[in-house]
Structure 1
Amino acid sequence: MKSIHTALLNLLIAFQVFIVFFLFFESRIYVPASLQVLGRAHPLLLHFPIVLLVLAWLLGCFGEKLDMGQALVKQLVYTLLLLTAWSAALTVVAGLFLSKEGGYEGPAFQWHKWTGVALCFLSAGLLWYHERTAVKRTKYPNLFRIGLSVLLVVLMMAGHFGAGLTHGADYLFEPVREKKQKALDIETAVVFQDLVYPILEAKCLNCHSPNKAKGGLILSDTTLMRQGGDSGPLWVSGSTEESLLVQRLLLDIGHEHHMPPKGKPQLTDDELALVQAWVASGADFEVPLSSVPPDDPIHRLAVTVYGAPNTEAYDFPAADAGTVAGLNSPYRVVKPIALGMPALTVGFYGKTAFTEQSLSELTAVGLQVVSMSLSGMPLSEKDRQTLGNFTNLQELILNDTPVDDRWCETLAALPKLRTISLSGTKVTETGLATLLALPKLKQVYVWNTQVGTDVLERLQQEHKNVTIEQGYRDDGQTILPLNAPLIKPASSFFEERATVTLSHPVAGVELRYTLDGSEPDSTHARLYKEPFTIDAATVVRVKGYKSGWFSSAETLKAFHPSANRPDRLFLLGPPNPGYKGRGAVTLVDLVSGGDNHADGKWLGFYGEPMNVSFHFDEAIHIDTIGISVKQQYGSHIYPPKVIQVWGGADSIGARLLTRVQPILEKPEKAPASQLVSIPAVGDAIRYLRLVVEPFVPIPPGYPAEGNPAWIFVDEITIN
């Protein structure tokens, strides 16, 4: 037993020496995947020193009161202290390994780290004191008991800061704090700050705050949100399909990349829809809710998620639930404006499904309807008369409908109308003036109507209690730049030939393009008339021109052929589990990876080479191999350091065809992606193997120097 005891003490000292070494050289240490398993056991291991130290403290401070003999108490305390020191050392090592995976930083992390280290060394020091001094006395001295108490305080501090990293800084006292939900005020609310951010704060900040930035992403600061994280930009303004934020939220809850992770509080359907609507609208941080058109989904979702603004007491009873349910269909949605409220909101969708009965059928709940959207519906004279019966209407959306001044006379009889949207209608000054006399009217939207700017400004001066939203109007003096043209196909790779199509969303735009790398000016470049075919490596550059507009920004796309497709291919080493694409086929599927390297179209390797073999049933001749790689130095994504190409009739007879070192551009000159072209001449090739090695470590003077680099590959071409 004595030899085991000595071995345990020596191993404990070895662990502590290793911890000191790790702390001194932390920035240069790389933790391989096999040891990351130990790091991820940190949340499990940390429970052992907690239990062991509490038992040691109880016995050390109150053991004398137990009828079990002082010698046995001291033996138990010593054993518990030894196990505490051992488990604390192992927990600290696991925590240091876990921290190397990234995403842990900030004051809370530093406090958790150093209190954990202090606990490890203090427990070993108290163990030594017990062996050398305390055990020789009949009773434990007060200094020993104070030491145990200090250890317990350090333990609680380490646990508190650790819980803050895992569950949020206010996790401990959150249940007893008074929660005050700010009432939604449409007049002052900002879409991001008051609608979107509270959702992110409640469901996402536990893992994406300055203290714990998983994936390098911080959501508590708008500047850092715009920068995105290790996987790239968080969103593409106006495109939910291409936005990483929405992609991760929509993944199946069991998927390894689903956010929030399984087991954490999830977004409700309406919260998710609100985030999607914000991204689709352009992901603007400053836009006020009052400037958003009332028929925009953001308005409806704001009320659904946060409740009706300035909730009022309605003087009518709720409609029969069965009646309301019977009025719902795929083209007409009828539901309470907020949970527990008798007031109803109605929305119509699909003009082809709108009939003469669609509106009149609502008379059964006409008393309860306070909000209605009829945008784009083919309204009739009968509908005008029916609408006059909804006397409790407060919000009415009539955009792009056949509404004219006669409708205004009918609507002027609705005494509670506060908001009305008439954009794209035939309303004139006469009809608008009639509506502006309504006593409770607050907002009118009249974009794209026949009412002139001068008239609207005069009416606004006459009715200062009403906000008249007239939208953007072109006065003929403003010159705007054209959008960038579009190039299809989306993929940069083709087998034999590709048909290229150029387009522009604005009618009448003249598209000028080049295929020789020169700038597409308005006079010498080719005029695009119809799709064209390419059968070789080609760089397409295109710009748009139109009288009365500034020319567009240039769109550039490089196309690369891949003439020799393998019959079989194999990855000889696995990619990182988070970036495994569709396996080996990702490299030859002729599909380009996007800006977001987590889109499932890239293979990622962290600090390990990509080793892939290609097999051909018939011998081929090769001249050039192309490897399409991503470059994003700030996320540790670099081009390969070395590429080896082996080839021959089979794997046994393969020889080294070439070994190249791609140019490592400076960060300010590095493009987002590039095709590394490798001259590799070989005849009668039936077997080909590529070894693509990353920088380990990243060279000095580059972002994340001293750490292993990522390599991301989306396609390999063989010609």
Structure 2
Amino acid sequence: MKQLKWQEILFNGCIALNSLLLFLLFFDHYLRVPAYIQVLGRAHPLALHFPIVLLLAAFLLEVLLRSSRQQPLKPLADTLLLAASFATVIAALMGLLLSKEEGYDADAISMHKWMGAACSFLSLGWYTFRNRIREHRGAIMATGLSCCIVLLIAGHKGATITHGNDFLLAPVMNKDTGPSVPLEDAVIYAHLIQPILENKCMGCHNRNKAKGALVMETSQLLLKGGKNGKPWDTTAADLGLLMQRIHLPSDNKEHMPPKGKPQLTEDETRILYLWIKDGASFTKKVTDLPGNDSLRTLAASFFKSNDTDTYDFAAADESVITGLNTEYRVITPLAQGSPALDVNFYGAARFKSGQLKDLEKVKNNIISLQLSRMPVTDEDLKTIGTFSNLKTLNLSFTTVKGEGLRYLAGLQHLKQLSLSGTAIQPGQLVALAPLKALRTVQIWNTSFTAKDLAVLKNRFPKTAFDIGYKGDTVVAKLSTPVFKTEQRIFKNNLFLEIKNPVKSAVTRYTLDGSEPDSLTSPIYQQPVNIDKAATVKARSYLPGWITSDLVAASFYKSSIQPDSIQLITAPEKEYQARAQEGKAFIDGQLGKENFGTKEWVGYKEPFEALLFFKQAATLSSVTFGSLVSAGSYIMPAHELQVWGGPTPQSLKLLGRVQPSQPVAMVPAYTTGYECRFAAQPVQVIKLIAKPVSSLPSWHAGKGQKAWVFLDEILLN
């Protein structure tokens, strides 16, 4: 009797809690969770596994109860169903409370939340109507499977929130084989760096879930950094925060990516390191790097050249290839219809030398062989040496010691060879001298030194050897010169100081926006007098040092100040507060590449404003300070107009300009669009800026309206 009374109390509690859950779901928008309640929400990960086990156990017991007709199991089945219902609603309520904390992807949270609630409602309904459901085997199966499916979806969404997209299904999903652009077109950031960030970082650093206030979705947001500053510092010895976090022990709470999420591979870590070390350019192409540059050498394994090889050998029998393919050895054609094969080995514990000998059936078709981290020995190289058409061979971090390199001397087509992380010695590479086609050899994480590299270059004049980063052999790079002023707008003129911490460095500059060079550009000797709008670029040089990075900034002249401004059209709602009745346009503060700062005012509809002068002012130009950030849908104005006259009722068109539009995605930048006209006195001017009405076809948001972002209005 006591047990029945207890079950009744628990059942009524389930009804009450599910009613509360339903209420909170529909009024979720108004829910505010105090700190002491947040503690309950954070216990959600601790509580969620219990209802999963109970629901699955209850399903199994219900099936057994139906098939065995064993009535003694009925009280146990009732208890399990009731316990599952109570535990599920508790877990769902805790999850709902946890969802109100910041830093979660709203879409993923919403689906996970509703699926969790559905589990709770289903389990309560199952217990409530358990006796009727037990009358039909089909009803038991339908109810149980429904719970399992909803539970699977909820679990998948929960894993996505915790471990990143497609965590549950990742092992069985087709994986991206890498960039498809040819080497000649590959941009380092777009095709090497961004895919790494998307796969390993953006699960936690996106607009919906910005951990540490860091968003990596666009270059401008990446440069903006998070609450701890920018992700990297090219002048720091450890290259800044990003590389610091990557190299922390995996069990350190600040290690990135966090423990339990997909980690960076050694190649990915090295690519990030080399990119930052080179200056972290967002526009540089792979082919802009020197031929022996480490990053270019590494990138060569990710991209294919435009030079299309033709093969004169016949394709291997498809049935033979099918028979050779296993879970740990994958053989695929290099391209559709190509007889050339790419062979990859996985699972070091399953590798045996005989698996290489099996490939003799297709040895003439193998062009690429990937054996990284396999326990390959020098004796195995004897077999590999018979793959006569081999062009790419990856032996990095294998147990090869070098004596067997002589077996590779017959591979006359071999172009790329990786021996990184092996025990080879410098003298052993002499065995590769007959390989006239050899162009790149990776030997980082070996005993090779810069002195050994010099000897190798003499012996192999056409081969680039990558020995990786050696701190004691790197020529120092000059610090970037610094503009010693925060002032970007001036009335009459501005004296600009340019400094470099290395006093013996020679700094050259330009005022027209062109790139300074080491021969013809003016040498900085004293403050530069700027008396008109100019884009200043500077770079420092010193014999024996690597040339500094470029520094650039735009400076604007504004010789006339209006007495007041009136906004005819209001900015978009989220930018109204910062507009400050138009003062943001004439406060002398130029915005930078981050559109989220108070200087910028955003419009999706045409911007219109009136500027007033107590005394007539003679104007000949108006410059609209603008931001261009194509990745954030912020484009140059489609058209800018300036109207002027003695009163607002008697204005005439003074001038118009249509700024040129980007033709591809580029990093965010600030600029000024000048509208010139014949000089004339005015007491009122009307300014109009029309946004682009339809984003171009190359843009991800093609057809949508663009934003126009303005800050300073400069009058001369």
TM-score normalised to structure 2 length? 0.45
TM-score normalised to structure 1 length? 0.44
